[in-house]
């Protein structure tokens, strides 16, 4: 992968905060999503993050997922690991944003086909070009699941040369334990974990 983090600006990246995975049925495991039960403050926190970013003219980028057999090459192995989910798990999602996390104005939306926004074929090429056009060096990430799509994307962003800040109270997972374990494992190693409740969150960010 080409290293593209050559600028000095910042961006906020919203990952998979879509009805399919949050307030709607969780198609990955064929169950009602527990995210808002475990993380009832998620909508308020994400809305606050977006409001602060937009107020500071920090670009916002929206990532959502729509899996398909010909592009989501990981699905056969997932089916073997999770046979009770059925052979069509993850398929049929609409990739519609939650109302409190949706794009405004000309904010860019990218639809990926796997966990990692930087490893999703042509979509990732366009994403990287967009980040380069904005002169982005630091990415503030929020979304779900913390241990999956957020961290996969964060890890790739780090290897591409970006400074990565995961906004912990704007992320969610199936359990609090999974969420906190993922943050604790990487915080201070190759990412930084911060919170939207911190007044200093964007103090050293540049638009």
Average pLDDT on 139-156 reads 97
Given a cut of 60, whether residue 91 has pLDDT beyond it is: no
Given a cut of 50, whether residue 99 has pLDDT beyond it is: yes
Please compute, for residue 178, the number of CA atoms within 13 A of its CA located in the half-sphere on the CB side.
Answer: 16
More confident residue, 33 or 129: 129
- Supply the pLDDT for residue 72: 67
Q: Which of 169, 134, 168, 174 is nearest to 154 (CA)?
A: 168
Per-residue confidence at 88, pLDDT binned at 50, 70, 90? low
- Supply the pLDDT for residue 35: 84
Query: What are the Cα distances from residue 147, in Å, to 7, 30, 69, 110, 180?
Result: 28, 19, 23, 20, 9
Q: Which of 182, 184, 196 is nearest to 153 (CA)?
A: 182
Given a cut of 70, whether residue 103 has pLDDT beyond it is: yes
Average pLDDT on 23-42 reads 69
- Supply the pLDDT for residue 93: 67
Per-residue confidence at 30, pLDDT binned at 50, 70, 90? very low
Given a cut of 90, whether residue 109 has pLDDT beyond it is: yes
The runs of H, that is alpha helices, within 113-175 are 122-134, 151-159
| Mean confidence (pLDDT) of the chain | 87
């Amino acid at each position: 992968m080409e290293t593209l983090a050559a600028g000095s600006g910042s961006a906020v990246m919203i990952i998979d905060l879509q009805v399919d995975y949050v307030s709607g049925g969780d198609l990955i495991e064929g169950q009602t999503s527990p995210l808002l039960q475990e993380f009832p403050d998620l909508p308020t926190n994400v809305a606050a993050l977006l409001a602060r970013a937009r107020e500071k003219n920090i670009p916002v980028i929206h990532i959502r997922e729509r899996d398909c057999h010909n592009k989501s090459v990981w699905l056969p192995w997932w089916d073997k690991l999770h046979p009770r989910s059925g052979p069509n798990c993850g398929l049929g999602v609409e990739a519609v944003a939650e109302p409190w996390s949706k794009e405004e104005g000309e904010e860019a939306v990218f639809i990926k086909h796997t966990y990692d926004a930087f490893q999703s074929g042509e979509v990732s090429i366009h994403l990287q070009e967009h980040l380069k056009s904005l002169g982005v060096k630091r990415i503030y990430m929020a979304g779900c699941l913390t241990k999956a799509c957020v961290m996969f994307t964060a890890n790739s962003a780090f290897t591409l040369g970006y400074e990565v800040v995961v906004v912990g109270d704007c992320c969610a997972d199936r359990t609090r334990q999974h969420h906190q374990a993922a943050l604790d494992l990487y915080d201070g190693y190759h990412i930084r974990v911060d919170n939207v409740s911190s007044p200093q969150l964007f103090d050293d960010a540049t638009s």
